[in-house]
């Protein structure tokens, strides 16, 4: 039986295709390549280019392949963009998920793993936030994901489908084997932006707000290495296959770093003292978001291997350098050909 990975050409999804291929699972990827790259998909996987919201295409995929589980990464992920363009988020993250879930139920798919987000907590009343912390998202991104969690909860109660929703905290870093990483040039995430600034792709970077009620005034996040996040997905798949009950898990390490600490680490690891300027707060940013991360260890036996900011930053930087080399090489080739 096969596993359908939506968004498998994207940052996190592409890591999942490599991990599944290493386990010799049959992998079908559905990705519209809007932000993903075909080269990022594991060579052993079958890539189908199309939309998760295309019900006819989904019916065709489920009719052609014997899909046991869906791992649903496809979606939009930029919090400030969700504030400016909420309907894009409700379409890509909520409406399209509904279409996918409906097709999966119709086809009798057994298991569903969903990429949810810590943004469902909004500004948690206490930190770290555990899975029982009331959900109260403060931006359309968080709301668009939470609605999909609710759909899954209701659907799993009504149909023979079990699911795990993984609430990602701040995912960063790249594949230690150098096969894939965060490759979207327009990425807005902190570690990626800092690495681009190290390499001179940006003249400077900004800290969005240093007047938060945190020790150094900048926001605190729980940065999790993408490889540990992928391990959580594999553990979730094993759990569901063994008959585990539908559940929601936080994916984070249980401790956070401030924006300043992250930037200092990028400067230390790179040895480059790049310019950083203060800027106003960004819309939709909670001051502190840290995972209470016990439930996933207990229920899934998850054991993170990369809980180290220096290592996360080093792998992100190595990937950024790799991307730059590739671009330089292709520019050179283009020049030579011209």
Q: Which residues are catalytic?
A: 141
Contact between 170 and ligand UDP (CB under 6 A)?
yes
Nearer to ligand UDP, 5 or 205 (CB): 205
**207 is a site residue for ligand UDP (CB under 6 A):** yes
How many residues sit in the footprint of ligand UDP (CB under 6 A)? Answer: 15
Task: Mark the segment that binds ligand UDP (CB under 6 A) among 81-89, 144-152, 156-164, 184-192.
Answer: 184-192
156 membership: H or E segment, kind and range: helix 140-158
Q: Are 257 and 223 in contact (CB under 8 A)?
A: yes
* 8 A C-beta contact, residue 214 and residue 288: yes
Told to check if 179 binds ligand UDP by CB under 6 A, we report no
Instruction: Look up residue 246 and give its DSSP letter.
Output: P
Q: Which window, 91-99, 100-108, 205-213, 264-272, contacts ligand UDP (CB under 6 A)?
A: 205-213
Beta bridge partners of 205: 276
Shortest reach from residue 28's CB to ligand UDP, in Å: 28
**Residue 329 exposed, middle or buried by CB count within 10 Å (0-12, 13-18, 19+):** exposed
Binding mask 282-311 for ligand UDP (x = CB under 6 A): x--x--------------------------
Judged by DSSP in three states, 172 sits in strand
Cβ closer to ligand UDP: 208 or 239? 208
In the bound state with ligand UDP, the residue whose beta carbon lies nearer, of 170 and 227, is 170
Measured from the Cβ of residue 193, the count of other Cβ atoms closer than 10 Å reads: 16
Q: Is 167 in the site for ligand UDP (CB under 6 A)?
A: no
Provide the H-helix boundaries in 47-110: 55-64, 79-84, 86-89, 96-106
Binding mask 243-282 toward ligand UDP (x if CB under 6 A, else -) reads ----------------x----------------------x
Which strand ranges, in their side-by-side order, compose the sheet holding 111-117? 46-49, 26-31, 2-6, 67-72, 111-117, 162-168, 247-251
193 binding ligand UDP? (CB under 6 A): yes
Beta carbon of residue 170, minimum distance to ligand UDP (angstroms, whole number): 5
Distances (CA, A) of 185 to 10, 35, 336: 12, 9, 24
As measured in angstroms, the least distance from the Cβ of 205 to ligand UDP is 5
Residues of this chain that bind ligand UDP (CB under 6 A):
79, 170, 188-190, 193, 205-208, 219, 221, 259, 282, 285
């Amino acid at each position: 039986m096969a596993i359908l990975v939506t968004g498998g050409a994207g940052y996190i999804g592409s890591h999942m295709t490599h991990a599944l291929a290493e386990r010799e699972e049959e992998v079908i990827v559905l990705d519209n390549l809007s932000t993903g790259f075909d080269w990022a998909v594991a060579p052993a996987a079958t890539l189908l280019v199309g939309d998760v919201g295309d019900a006819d295409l989904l019916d065709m995929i489920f009719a052609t392949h014997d899909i046991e589980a869906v791992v649903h990464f496809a979606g939009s992920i930029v919090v400030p963009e969700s504030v400016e363009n909420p309907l894009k988020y409700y379409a890509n993250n909520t409406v399209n998920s509904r279409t996918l879930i409906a097709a999966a139920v119709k086809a009798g798919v057994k298991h569903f793993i969903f990429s949810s987000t810590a943004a469902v907590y909004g500004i948690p009343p206490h930190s770290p936030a555990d899975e029982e912390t009331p959900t109260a998202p403060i931006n359309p991104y968080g709301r668009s994901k939470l609605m999909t969690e609710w759909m899954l909860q209701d659907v799993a109660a009504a149909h023979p489908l079990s699911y795990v929703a993984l609430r990602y905290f701040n995912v960063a870093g790249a594949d230690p084997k150098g096969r894939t990483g965060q490759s979207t040039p327009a990425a807005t995430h902190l570690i990626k932006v800092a690495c681009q600034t190290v390499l001179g792709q940006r003249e400077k970077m900004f800290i969005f707000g240093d007047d938060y009620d945190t020790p150094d005034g900048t926001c605190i996040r729980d940065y999790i290495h993408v490889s540990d996040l992928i391990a959580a997905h594999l553990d979730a798949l094993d759990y569901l296959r063994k008959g585990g009950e539908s559940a929601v898990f936080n994916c984070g390490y249980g401790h956070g770093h401030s924006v300043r600490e992250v930037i200092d680490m990028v400067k230390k690891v790179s040895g480059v003292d790049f310019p950083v300027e203060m800027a106003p707060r960004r819309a939709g940013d909670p001051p502190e978001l840290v995972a209470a991360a016990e439930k996933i260890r207990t229920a899934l036996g998850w054991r993170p291997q990369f809980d180290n900011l220096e290592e996360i930053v080093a792998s992100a930087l190595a990937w950024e350098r790799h991307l730059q080399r590739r671009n330089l090489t292709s520019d050179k080739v283009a020049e030579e050909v011209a």
